[in-house]
């Protein structure tokens, strides 16, 4: 009997420990897109069944330039979704913009609670259900150890708890739990140099229903940027001389006809490596996965346009609302095998890595051979 009682007690303690450190799950994703020399576009995703996020730190690779815009500068658009606990969990779309702002007593208090010493303060200024929300996004300098690990800056967000009782000070508006967000920051410029750039992030959830961060469940999520991404199309022409019979003044005669045979090949590369997830649409709407080849004849034309489009790494999207749009940030989930745990984080599990996707187009003018 004592053995059974001890076993039951051990099981109960284990269950309580699990309940105190996890929700249904906690498996966030980080996505980073953009074009070389342009602005970074950053996306995050967590599951509706995941524990609510308390803190997120995004580590910017040192090859990226992080500027210090003046307060009041608009940095880019923001889209997001959140599950509103006060509205039976309905998922709400949020829209707005990212702004550089001057620190206030409110942002200073949030930074102190968040454990951040910000070099800059940005704000995710969004609207939902007629209410305006300002979520501080702090830019923090990296430590010597972080710089040695290849990080140039940190972007830190601390979110209010959504699942504490209504009326609790600091509770999230509408009991809203952030599920996804995408923002563009003109202050974060992508490098022009080709390379495989790895972003990473640390995520800490809340202990459900307590409003207390659960540091024991901190996890890492990464985003891989292979730059540059290019759609390249090459063509080859061949002059073909044929003859055809024509009737003129009641008589038949043969005339020479010059036909241009055109062959082409298209491929998407990411840092000079073929993108396996690219779908390329070529002449006559034919689609190929990975790379595309084709040919056609030019008869009676002096020139023609060859248009090629490609969609790459776009089998998933960062949700921005109930209906998907072409503007949503696309990505391909590389999974846990592509996630390399950062030694600096001392054993924090690395759960997932992604690579951002998009759409490319290429148009070439092909000239025919003259007679």
Q: 75 preceded by cis ω (within 30°)?
A: no
Query: What are the pLDDT digits (tens) for 77-92?
Result: 999 999 999 999 999 9
Question: CA-to-CA distance for 305 and 289, rounded, in angstroms?
Answer: 22
Q: Mark whether 79 and 124 lie in a shared domain.
A: yes
Last residue of a domain, one of 229, 254, 278: 229
Residue 214 lies in a domain: yes
Q: Mark whether 267 and 157 lie in a shared domain.
A: no
Q: Mark whether 207 and 85 lie in a shared domain.
A: yes
- Which segments of the chain have a pLDDT < 50? 1-23
| DSSP for residue 322 | S
Half-sphere exposure of residue 285: CA atoms within 13 angstroms, side-chain side = 0
pLDDT at 36: 83
pLDDT at 17: 35
Q: Mark whether 291 and 151 lie in a shared domain.
A: no
> Which 3 state secondary structure label does DSSP give 243?
strand
Q: Mark whether 48 and 112 lie in a shared domain.
A: yes
Domain of 295? 230-312+359-367
Last residue of a domain, one of 162, 195, 229: 229
Residue 83 lies in a domain: yes
User: Global pTM?
Assistant: 0.87
Residue 326 lies in a domain: no
Residue 334 lies in a domain: no
CATH number of residue 221's parent domain? 2.60.40
* End-to-end C-alpha distance for the chain, whole angstroms: 102
Q: Mark whether 87 and 189 lie in a shared domain.
A: yes
Last residue of a domain, one of 181, 197, 229: 229
pLDDT at 242: 82
Query: Quick one: tokens of 328?
Result: 């949503």
pLDDT at 363: 92
Query: What are the pLDDT digits (tens) for 10-38?
Result: 333 333 333 344 446 899 999 999 988 88
Q: Mark whether 267 and 225 lie in a shared domain.
A: no
Domain count, the chain: 2
Q: Mark whether 128 and 260 lie in a shared domain.
A: no
pLDDT at 101: 98
Q: Mark whether 279 and 139 lie in a shared domain.
A: no
């Amino acid at each position: 009997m004592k053995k059974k009682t001890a076993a039951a007690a051990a099981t109960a303690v284990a269950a309580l420990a699990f309940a105190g450190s996890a929700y249904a799950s906690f498996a966030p994703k980080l996505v980073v897109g953009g074009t070389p020399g342009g602005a970074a576009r950053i996306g995050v995703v967590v599951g509706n069944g995941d524990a609510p996020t308390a803190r997120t730190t995004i580590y910017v690779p040192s090859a990226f330039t992080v500027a210090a815009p003046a307060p009041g500068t608009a940095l880019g658009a923001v889209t997001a979704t959140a599950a509103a606990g006060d509205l039976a969990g309905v998922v709400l779309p949020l829209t707005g913009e990212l702004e550089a702002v001057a620190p206030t007593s409110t942002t200073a208090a949030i930074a102190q609670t968040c454990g951040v010493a910000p070099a800059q303060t940005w704000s995710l200024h969004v609207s939902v259900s007629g209410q305006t929300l300002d979520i501080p996004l702090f830019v923090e300098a990296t430590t010597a150890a972080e710089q040695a690990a290849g990080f140039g800056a940190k972007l830190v967000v601390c979110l209010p708890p959504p699942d504490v009782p209504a009326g609790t000070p600091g509770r999230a508006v509408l009991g809203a739990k952030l599920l996804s967000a995408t923002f563009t920051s003109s202050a974060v410029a992508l490098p022009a140099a080709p390379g495989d750039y790895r972003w990473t992030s640390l995520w800490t959830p809340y202990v459900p229903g307590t409003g207390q961060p659960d540091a024991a469940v901190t996890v890492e999520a990464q985003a891989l940027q292979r730059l540059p991404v290019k759609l390249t199309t090459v063509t080859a022409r061949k002059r073909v001389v044929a003859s055809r019979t024509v009737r003129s003044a009641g008589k038949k005669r043969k005339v020479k006809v010059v036909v241009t045979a055109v062959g082409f090949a298209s491929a998407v590369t990411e840092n000079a490596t073929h993108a396996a997830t690219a779908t390329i649409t070529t002449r006559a709407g034919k689609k190929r996965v990975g790379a595309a080849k084709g040919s056609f004849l030019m008869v009676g034309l002096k020139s023609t346009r060859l248009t090629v489009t490609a969609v790459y790494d776009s089998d998933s999207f960062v949700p921005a609302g109930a209906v998907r749009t072409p503007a949503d940030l696309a990505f391909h989930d590389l999974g846990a095998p592509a996630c390399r745990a950062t030694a600096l984080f001392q054993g924090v599990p690395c759960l997932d890595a992604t690579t951002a996707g998009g759409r490319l187009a290429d148009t070439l003018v092909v000239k025919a051979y003259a007679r």
